[in-house]
């Protein structure tokens, strides 16, 4: 039973912090005025996609702490959370596309390292991070393109 509470704590904690950071860093007028590529998704898609991803990230965090307890995976999980939560304040809050790009590139690298390390220790966590890598990879391309257009 204790594991279910830990799982709920991880998932709810990640989702709620993600929502708060998103709420505090709403794209707003500045973002609306930026030139964006044709493949830029509509704004409404970001919240549901990130909610699903935050659930997956929370599940993986729970697995890292309760199943594998590997210090390297713990460090990479914490690092990706810090980078993830830093991107919106940098990009939207500070309106700094370049800083956002630096952060998201480090996040992408961190996710790749996590998947690589988890593959041999907890394949389930590695697989759960694949959609996250896909979305962050797409967001990185989007960030690069927005920087180039503006």
Where are the domains positioned within the chain? 2-149
Answer whether residue 69 shows pLDDT above 90: no
Calpha distance 80→60 (Å, rounded): 12
The pLDDT of residue 7:
92
Q: What percent of the chain has pLDDT over 70?
A: 99
pTM of the predicted structure, to 2 decimals: 0.93
Residues comprising the chain, all counted: 150
Please provide residue 129's backbone torsions phi and psi, each rounded to the nearest 5 degrees: -85, -10
- Please state which of the four CATH numbers 1.20.58.340, 1.20.1260.100, 1.10.3720.10, 1.10.10.10 is assigned to the domain occupying 2-149: 1.20.1260.100
The pLDDT of residue 1:
61
Q: Binning pLDDT at 50, 70 and 90, where does residue 59 land?
A: very high
Q: Binning pLDDT at 50, 70 and 90, where does residue 38 land?
A: very high
Calpha distance 53→85 (Å, rounded): 13
The mean pLDDT of the chain is 95
* Contact by Cβ (8 Å): 129, 114: yes
Calpha distance 108→138 (Å, rounded): 10
* Contact by Cβ (8 Å): 90, 107: no
Give per-residue pLDDT as tens, 130-149. 999 999 999 999 999 999 99
Residue 3, SS3 per DSSP: helix
Q: Which residue has the tokens 């920087």?
A: 147
In the numeric block, which tokens belong to residue 69? 């307890």
């Amino acid at each position: 039973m204790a594991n279910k509470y830990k799982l709920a704590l991880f998932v709810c904690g990640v989702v709620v912090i993600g929502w708060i950071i998103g709420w505090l860093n709403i794209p707003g007028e500045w973002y609306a005025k930026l030139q964006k590529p044709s493949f830029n998704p509509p704004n409404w898609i970001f919240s549901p996609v990130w909610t699903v991803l935050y659930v997956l990230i929370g599940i993986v965090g729970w697995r890292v702490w309760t199943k594998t307890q590997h210090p390297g995976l713990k460090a990479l999980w914490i690092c990706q959370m810090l980078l993830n939560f830093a991107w919106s304040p940098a990009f939207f809050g500070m309106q700094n596309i370049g800083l956002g790009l630096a952060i998201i590139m480090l996040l992408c690298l961190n996710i790749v390292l996590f998947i690589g390390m988890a593959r041999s220790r907890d394949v389930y966590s590695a697989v759960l991070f694949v959609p996250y890598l896909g979305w962050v990879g797409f967001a990185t391309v989007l960030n690069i393109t927005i920087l180039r257009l503006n």
